[in-house]
Every structure is written in C-alpha cells, then in structure tokens.
A and B are shown apart, each in its own frame.
Chain A
Amino acid sequence: MGNKPAVFTHEQLEAYQDNPFRQRIAQVFSEDGDGHMTLNNFLDMFSVMSEMAPRDLKAYYAFKIYDFNDDDYICAWDLEQTVTKLTRGELSAEEVSLVCEKVLDEADADHDGRLSLDDFQHVILRAPDFLSTFHIRI
C-alpha cells in the first residue's frame, strides 16, 4: 500500500452492507468524524465488532453509534432517530414517541431524561444477546 494511506469513502462501505446505521458506524470509527476511514480505522472497526472484543468496549462504541448528536448522552431525539432507522420509518410518530418514553423509563436510572454511558451499559448487561448481535463475522 506504500506510504499513502488508502481511504474508504462511506459510499464504498455502503455497497458492502445494508445496515441502517452504516453512516453512524463510519462516522464513529473514522478519525475526523466525517465518515472517511483509513486502514487503521477499518481495523479498529473490525476489532471492536469481532467476537473477542470485551463487552464494555462494544457497549462503549455502540453508545457512540446511537448518540447521533455526539453530546455523550443518548437523549430523546437520539432515541427517536434510532427507532426510526430501525423500523425504516414505518411506525407512526405517536408510536415512536411512546417507545422512546418507555425506553427512558426503563433505562434512565438517575432520572435526568437521557441515557449516560452507565445507563446504557446497564441495559447491555441485562441483554446477553448483545454480544452475538453486535458482531460481524469475518
């Protein structure tokens, strides 16, 4: 590859898989947050999404992926974005807000209206499936 670092644009990544969070993944793992990944970023991504990554590390990166506005908290707006992307926009606005409210009820331990990294990790602890779903097979 030589000295010039090769860059993966997020269009190339899009062709690889049809994941609703593909843009967020590219943004989180890229160096300057704009979605263009170098080889090292690519390796980081696969390292985190591999089988051997510990749960806390995966939870940390999953938190960053679901935090759409990058404010280190998953607020109600982030949740709405997540649910919309998960269901391809086919739930009504009322249902989406109801789901977000229930998620905040269940997960927000310190009642400040948004999820911090700890609240998120606590949710992940209760879901042993997370290790098998947040995983890309190579």
Chain B
Amino acid sequence: MAQPPAFVFNILETPEDQGQDPSPYDESEVHDSFHQLIQEQSQRAAEEGLELRVLPQREPGPETLGASGSGHQALLGPEGVPDYSTATLRILASMPSRTIGRSRGAILSQYYNRTVRLRRRGSRPPLGGVGRSARPSLRLYDLELDPTAFQEEEKRTLLVKELQGLTVAQRDHMLRGMPLSLAEKRSLREESWTQSGKQRGPQGRRGLLPCCSRLRYACGLALHSLGLALLSALQALTPWRYALKQIGGQFGSSVLSYFLFLKTLLAFNALLLLPLLAFIVGVQAAFPPAPADSVPTFTGLELLTGGGRFSHSVMYYGYYSNTTLNQLCGPPLDGSQCTPEAGGLPYNMPLAYLFTMGMSFFITCITLVYSMSRSFGESYRVGSTSGVHAITVFCSWDYKVTQKWPSRLQQDNIRTQLKELLAEWQLQQGPRSVWGRLRQVAILGFVWLLCLGTTLGCTLAVYAFSELMIKNPVSAEREWELLALPLVVCLLNLGAPYLYRGLAALERHDSPILEVYVAICRNLILKMVILGILCYHWLGRRVGALKGQCWENFVGQELYRLMVMDFVFTLLDTLFGELVWRFISEKQRKKRGKPEFDIARNVLELIYGQTLTWLGVLFSPLLPAMQIVKLLVLFYVKKMSLMANCRAPRRPWLASHMSTVFVSLLCFPSFLGAAIFLCYAIWQVRPSSICGPFRTLDTMYEAGKVWVRHLEKAGPRVSWLPWIHRYLVENTFPIYLVSALLLAVIYLNIQVVKGQRKVICLLKEQISNEGEDKIFLINKLHSVYEGKERSRVGRAQEAEMPPTLPADERDAR
C-alpha cells in the first residue's frame, strides 16, 4: 500500500487549463493531496507546451453527472473496467473507503476516532452524523495521513485507552457495534476493564486499598455476569419460544406478526386482570354478601348464556355490595356512626370498584400509547422516500426461513413482487388517459358505496332484531333464545367480509398493499358500527326497558354471550374454512394448493374480541380472565390449523409496518370506543337500584363525590384532596390548559419534523456534490499521471531517436 506523501497545504491560484468546465481552481481551496502533483504538472506543461488532456469519455462535467443513469458510466472505460494507471490505483487502494473490510487497523482507527469524538463531545453527535461515514473525505482521517503511521498494536492500545474514558454503558454500546470478531471484542473489553480497575487504584502501594479496588472490580464483574444470566433465563422463559420459531421458520415474518400480536394481547389482558383480581374480585370473594333468596341450580346452558347460576357470583356487577366491608362495628350508639374495632380494615367497596376500574383503564391506555409510539418510531422515518426496489432487493430475504419448501416459496414471492414492481413502473411510464382515470374513480366510488350500503343494511338488521328482542322479552325457561342476537351479529360479521372481498375484485388498485388497507378499513367500519349500535341498544334502550331489574347484569351477560359466540364461530371458521378448503382445493384444483393464511381478517377478529372485553369489563370484572383463556386456546388451534392447512400469503407484507398498524387500530377505534362507553356509563347513566355497588346513587361517579364530601368533614389534615377535587377535577379550566399544552407540543413536533426534512434534503445534495468532486479529482489524478507517463516515454523516445525528426514525432503523436 503506497504511503500518501506529506504535503504542505498552500492556497494557490493556477491558470485555467480546461476551458470548458468550471474548475476547482476558481475556488479558494484546493485539496493539499493533489496540490503538488498539479503544480508539477502545470510547470511541466508550461515548459514543454503539452496540454493536459482529459480523456473524452470521462468528462465529469456536473451536467452529465446530474442526469441519472449516465453518471455511473463516468468511471468505466470502454471494457466496463476502470483503467487507471498503477500509480492512481495505488493511491485509490489506500483510500479509507476501500480499506474498511480489509484491514483491522482501519477499523480500529475508525473506532478510535469515533470514541474520541464521543468523549470530547459528551453529548449526541450532530444531525446526519457525518463523522460516522467511511467516505473518502480525507480530512477526517488524520490518523491515516500522519507521516508516522501507527502500527496495528499501537492503534489497539490507543483504542483501549479511549474506551476506558467512556462510561460502561457507552463502552458496551460501542463494542457491540464494532465489526470485529467476538474474541477480539472480548479481549478489548477485558483490557479496558482491567486497566480502568488499575487506574482507579491509588498511586502509592498500600496493602488495603488495592484490595478494595480489586474487590470492587470483582463485584462489578459478578453483578454483570449475574445480570447476563438473568437475561438469558428470562429469554428462555418466554412462552412459546419454540412454537414461534417454528412458525417463523416455515411461514416467514408476516404470519409470525399475527402470533406476536396475540401474545401482546395476552399481556394487555393480564395487565388489566391483575388489579381487578386484587382489589375487587378477591375482596368480594373473601366477604361474600348475604345470599339471595333463590339461587338457580347449575345447568350446562350457563356456559353459553352466562346467566342462571353465574348471575349470583363474582362474575357480574350485581354481586358486589355497596357497603363498606370488613367494618366490624360495635353496637351503634346513634345509628349513624360506626366505630371500627381493632383488627378490622374497612374497605369501601363502591369506591374501590370505581377507582380500580378507572386505574386499570388508565394503565392500559398509557401502555397502549407507549407501545404505539415506540412502534411508530421504529417503523416510520423522516424523509424516507420510496426506495422500494432497493428495499425489496436488500431487505426482503427472510433469513429466519429454514426449510427448503418455504424457502422456494419465498423466492417465488420475491420474483412475483419484482415483476409487479416493474409492471407498475412500466404502467406509470405509459400515458394515462383522462377517461381511464375517470372510469377508475367512478368504479372506486361505486364499490365504496356498495360496501357502505352493506354496512348500513347490517346495522339496520341488528337494530331491528334488538328492538324485536325488547318487545318480546325472554322468559326464564327459554334462556337459549337469548343467544339469538349474538348469533345474528356473528353471522353478519362472518358473511359481510366475503361480500366485501367479492366487491373488491371489481376495482383494480395500483398497489397490492393499498388493497389490503382498504379491506381492513371496510371490515373495521362494519364491526365498529355494529358494536356502536349494540352500545346504544344497551345504554339507551335496555336501561329503560329493564327498570326495576338489574340491567348491568344483563349487559354483562350480553357481552359474555357475544364473546362466547365469537369464539365458537372463530373455531368453526378455522376448522371449516381452512380444513374443508384444503380438501376441496387438493381434490379439484391441484394447482392452487393450500389456502393462504388471511392475516388481516384474523387480526381484525382479535381486535374485535379485545374490544368486547374492554366494553364489558365494567359490568363483568372477570371478563379479561375469559379472554385470556380464549386467547390461549386460539393460539394452539390457529397454530395447528396453520401448520396443517395453510401456506404463507402471496402478497408482500411489511411486517413492521403491519404491527404498527395493528397496535394503532387497537388503540384508536377499539380502546377509544371502549373508553368513551365506559365514561358515558359512569357519568351519565343511572345505576339500577336493586343490585351492584352503586345502587343508592344517581350516577356511578357519585361514589367518588360522596367520599370527597366525607373527607371534607374529616378534618383539616386531608383538606388538600377535596381542594384538588374541586379545583382540578370538577373545574373545566385545567382541561383547557392541558389541551392547549398538548396542541403546542404537537405543533412543535410538526415543525421539528419539517426542519429535519429540510436538513435531509440539504445533506443529500451535499453527498451528491461530494461524489462529483471525487470523480473529478480521480480523473484529474489519472490525467496527471498519464501525462507524466507520456512525457517520460516521450523523453525516452526523443533520447533514442535522431534529433533531425522532431516535427514528425510531434505530428505523429
């Protein structure tokens, strides 16, 4: 490898020698590496009258490079291989960008520079991180151009010294990102640990103190290895690790995202269930209320209808008492006050019910919003234009897939995807007539109209059926008739998507991903509208119709029935939809093969089930437990059916975008709707007067108000709580303030994103310009060496030839 010569940096004006192009000599700074060469060459040119000739096909004018596609011919000679002189090649070979893979020394020095910069700055690197590039900008690599170039060992010691200056977290992060082998990284880490351990020791040699520093070092190492062991144990404990690996290996990341979403939902339900179990269900189960007069016996129908024996259990709202539990009162003196005896911990059940419900929903909301924002942050980038071909070529091969047949399938998928992309591009190249576009818009509008009409029809059907159920109340002997409404809802939810799929065959979208989004949108609208109608039916009509009875129990039972029916229909659909279809397609249409696993439909079913849980949790605190059981069974059933009957989807699925979409769908229509339902039920609806923890109050929220009034009377020590309640909760001003703050934060974020986009554009232009500079300089270098070579050859020939024929020589050349 040639040593780049040491140059004196000198600003010099040199004469115009190209004529046509704008040359860098016009600018005030010429890079020092090429300065001397150019100076020599121009002197020689002035002496001998030779011109600097740049080979015509390598003219690197900025206008030719600006045109896309022709730029990459600038460096290639006629055979397609760059033909530079050996001197040029030697210099090019020592460019930092060409040595990244080859020499460990280059990697070590690159990371040394990074560490130094990190330590000196002490904060985040600037936007764009220009310092992290391995681009041939020679100014950054002072270490390489230093005449006393370091050997590898010295670079390594330097790196270790710099690593010690970092904090432990930064050091680990830096080591983890280094492209060296594990053995190297381990030795670097150990060296930086031991040396820092020694450095913390004192200068003098005392018997006690080195012992302390050694002890601290040993403790630190032990803690570190304990942490690593815990981490690996935690990973081994994650449920279904092998099952997920199997699914990912056979079907790829997109189908895997469905199962990961299922796992996430399980976590959410567990999070919701724990406070409910601890503060409501457990306490009430420990202090059961007085048994009701007639408790029906257990028949099998309760599992489907949720009524009967289950009505008088902790499962439903009606069971919970509206008094303070565990308050062992002495004989009441004036009948209004109760002095608790020693050993009793009074537990205000209505308050606990209200607060626990509110708190669980709040925790769920925070967790959802956090996971959604993290998902968004990972999958959407500022200024990312559609580099869809590059992404398909480089990022679409799923290394998880391990078996031969799914691997073949993946190759087929990628081939289809590339063909579709090319076809799309060719279609866009061709002119699109106004008539064609108008026709497409008309078809789109028509199909949407039909779909919305179907939705409206389904909604009216549900409404009419629910009104019918109110008019003909079900007697106690014919409880199975209660299953009629859930049956109708489930049938509509099953049938309408097939209709949508049929209608969608009429319209032709530009991109297959858009088709999927549109299908998800339509199905979601259907489900949410049906649920909305049912909510109106319960809170608006049933409350009035069931006056004098426990309407909350009824609503809880309705939701239980809906969940059970949904579960039954999902199982039937999985068995019949996938199994029977596989038999049919195997016997009749062998070419089609197994049916595809429809990810969108399955995910929407999961979201629907979770919405039902959230709607019903106020009236039936054990509903999340049921949902957990349902999800567990669903995982195994779906996995079995998938392995036996299905194959991976043909369409390309961007797995990370999809998981972001799933979580946002879970948050926005699903959780938001459930929260609105809950708020309305707590604030506006009158609870029934014969059952439940709020039976004597006007609204459920009043339990909180009653308690605050009680606290006000209690004395001056807790007066801050009523104050907070009066001025922050009841008052509307803080809400306006919070909304204004939120709007301000959103506006600031939008402006920051705009600014980042602008900076990205500027940096892209800068990169493009530097690329042009590089090509120009390389060509200049080459021409300088060529000129030298030619003049050397010419002088040698002149020395050989007789001096009588100089004119002929000159002409011939």
Contact = CB atoms under 8 A, between A and B. Distances in A.
B186 to A, nearest CB: 10
Main secondary structure of the interface of A (DSSP, over half): helix
Interface stretch (B141-149, B290-298, B581-589, B765-773): B765-773
B29 interface: no
Contacts of B245: 137
Given A110-B767, A120-B394, A133 B419 contact: no
B418 interface: yes
Contacts of A43: 182
A112 B134 CA distance: 15
B253 A104 contact: no
22 contacts: A40-B181, A40-B183, A60-B179, A62-B394, A70-B101, A86-B397, A86-B411, A87-B418, A90-B415, A99-B418, A103-B393, A109-B771, A110-B770, A110-B772, A111-B72, A113-B71, A114-B72, A128-B379, A128-B381, A129-B391, A133-B253, A133-B399
Interface string A72-116: 100010010011001110110001001101111111111111101
B398 interface: yes
B181 A41 contact: yes
A79 to B, nearest CB: 7
Given A106-B387, A112-B775, A124 B100 contact: no
Nearest to B97: A116
Contacts of B253: 129, 132-133
Given A41-B181, A118-B134, A88 B394 contact: no
A87 B411 contact: yes
A68 interface: no
Nearest to A46: B182
Contacts of A118: 133-135
A103 B244 CA distance: 33
B547 interface: no
A106 B687 CA distance: 63
A61 B179 contact: yes
The 6 lowest CB-CB distance pairs between A and B, nearest first, are: A113-B72, A110-B771, A111-B71, A87-B415, A106-B387, A127-B395
Given A56-B177, A66-B394, A107 B387 contact: yes
Contacts of B418: 83, 87, 91, 95, 99
Interface string B512-543: 00000000000000000000000000000000
B411 A128 contact: no
A26 interface: no
A11 interface: no
A32 interface: no
Given A70-B101, A90-B415, A136 B400 contact: yes
A68 to B, nearest CB: 13
Interface in A46-61: 47, 49, 52-54, 56-57, 60-61
B656 A128 contact: yes
B72 A123 contact: no
A36 interface: no
**Which bracket fits the contact residues of B?**
35 or more
Interface string B99-119: 111100000000000000000
Nearest to B377: A128
A3 interface: no
A128 B422 CA distance: 23
B407 A72 contact: no
Given A83-B418, A105-B69, 10 more contacts: A17-B407, A18-B407, A21-B397, A40-B182, A82-B394, A99-B389, A107-B387, A112-B71, A128-B378, A129-B253
B72 A44 contact: no
Contacts of B133: 118
Interface string B741-765: 0000000000000000000000010
B404 to A, nearest CB: 4
A87 to B, nearest CB: 4
Contact of A132 (B244, B387, B656): B656
Interface centre among A70, A72, A82 (most CB of B within 10 A): A72
Contact of B768 (A70, A98, A110, A125): A110
A123 B248 contact: no
Contact of B399 (A49, A82, A123): A49
Contacts of A61: 179
A126 B397 contact: no
A133 B413 CA distance: 15
Contacts of B393: 79, 82-83, 86, 99, 103
Interface in A1-54: 16-21, 40-41, 43-44, 47, 49, 52-54
A13 to B, nearest CB: 12
A137 B378 contact: no
Contact of A125 (B75, B173, B381): B381
A133 B396 contact: yes
B737 interface: no
A129 B253 CA distance: 9
A110 B134 CA distance: 13
A116 B181 CA distance: 22
Contacts of A44: 181-182
A98 B99 CA distance: 30
A8 B411 CA distance: 26
Contacts of A53: 176
Contacts of B176: 52-54, 57
Contacts of A104: 69, 72
Contacts of B249: 137
Contacts of A52: 176
Interface in B363-416: 378-381, 384-385, 387-391, 393-404, 407-408, 411, 414-415
Contacts of A133: 253, 395-400, 655
B73 interface: yes
Nearest to B70: A111
A95 B419 CA distance: 8
B556 to A, nearest CB: 40
Contacts of A132: 253, 655-656
Contacts of B657: 128-129
B604 interface: no
B65 A111 contact: yes
B694 to A, nearest CB: 47
B379 to A, nearest CB: 4
Interface centre among B101, B384, B399 (most CB of A within 10 A): B399
A76 B72 CA distance: 10
Interface string B74-102: 11100000000000000000000111111
Given A70-B101, A72-B100, A128-B379, A109 B656 contact: no
Interface centre among B101, B379, B414, B657 (most CB of A within 10 A): B101
A123 B390 contact: yes
Nearest to A54: B177
Given A82-B393, A132-B655, A137-B248, A111 B73 contact: no
Contact of B395 (A17, A87, A88, A129): A129
A96 B178 CA distance: 34
Contact of A105 (B68, B398, B404, B411): B68
B411 A88 contact: yes
A106 B774 contact: no
B179 A19 contact: no
Nearest to B179: A60
B768 A111 contact: yes
A54 to B, nearest CB: 5
Nearest to B173: A54
B270 interface: no
